[in-house]
Amino acid sequence: MSVLVNKDTRVLVQGITGKEGSFQTQRCIEYGTKIVAGVTPGRGGEKTEHGVPVFNRVSEAVRETGADCALIFVPPAFAADAILESAAAELPLAVCITEGIPTMDMVKVKRALGSHGTRLIGPNCPGIITAGECRVGIMPGHVFSPGSVGVVSRSGTLVYEAVDQLTRRGIGQTTCIGVGGDPIIGTNQKQALELLNNDPDTAAVVLIGEIGGSAEQEAAEYIRKHMKKPVIAFIAGATAPPGRRMGHAGAIISGNSGTADAKKHALAGAGAIISESPAEIGATTERVLRERGLL
């Protein structure tokens, strides 16, 4: 089973005629994802080099193709409007890869999404992949393999690293969700954990967090109260100096709760198993699965 996306998901790509949108569309098609439409204002009626029809508006694409998921590769200045257009078209899911969206734009998006049924993943994220079925984003599909471990991460690169370690150990994945590294995102770690906790085919979850904010503490509270499955957690940024942004816009320590130690302490206290090094995520997960008879 999977969460959010599967082999039947019908994806439209906003910004499909741009360089990155076109390149990643091809990679998604090669993975087996059903890309049914593209949206670029002013290019409606055309077809891309992949043979995908292009529409001027998301509503048109949804009406003509039955798309139920948007993958967004729109420049930062226009990305918020692209998300809101998908919400207005009542798409159940929108995945925004775009990095550098102004924070105030995302404040407006977050508020507006409260009145819609659209779930947003991102922005500034690697997307979602259900192993062997559907790739909606920029994750390198070749490192994934179907199995029973879900992955939730703020970091795209660490998703790939963790999954590669799991796959090399013969541990496959269900769905891997890159929630994004910006201060304001659509679906947070707690909400992603809830999705995987309710998936009967996910036996365990790898949670990859990083410094900044309090999302990991909120996830820890959910783990403590509700999680029925083992969680293996790694927090990036242990050596980062306070007050300095490290990579992601949200990865800045602005208080005691934002430190790696504070996050690890909260997660460990909630029952998560902590991996102290990114190089040990695979080994730690294998040990936990074997100890609990899940492998």
The rounded distance, in Å, linking the Cα atoms of 150 and 191 is 13
Instruction: Kindly list the distances between the CA atom of residue 135 and the CA atoms of 6, 120, 182, 190, 210, in Å, as whole numbers in the listed order.
Output: 9, 16, 22, 22, 24
Mean model confidence pLDDT for the chain: 93
Mark whether 50 is an active-site residue: no
Q: Find, among 272, 285, 277, the residue nearest to 166 by Cα.
A: 285
**What structural domains does the chain harbor?**
10-121 (3.40.50.720), 140-291 (3.40.50.261)
Tell me the pLDDT tens digit for each residue of 82-91. 999 999 999 9
| Residue 140: cis peptide before it, omega within 30 degrees of 0 | no
Q: What is the pLDDT of residue 214?
A: 86
Q: Please, what's the largest Cα pairwise distance for the chain?
A: 57
Q: 194-221 in b/e burial notation, b at 16+ Cβ within 10 A?
A: bbbbebeebbbbbbbbbbbbebbbbbbe
Mean pLDDT score, 288-295: 96
pTM: 0.94
Closest of 273, 277, 279, 276 to residue 291, by C-alpha: 273
Task: Encode pLDDT of 96-117 as tens digits.
Answer: 999 999 999 999 999 999 889 9
pLDDT, tens digit (0-9, with 9 covering 90-100), for 168-217: 999 999 999 999 989 899 999 999 999 999 999 999 999 999 988 889 99
- Contact status, residue 182 vs residue 123, Cβ threshold 8 Å: yes
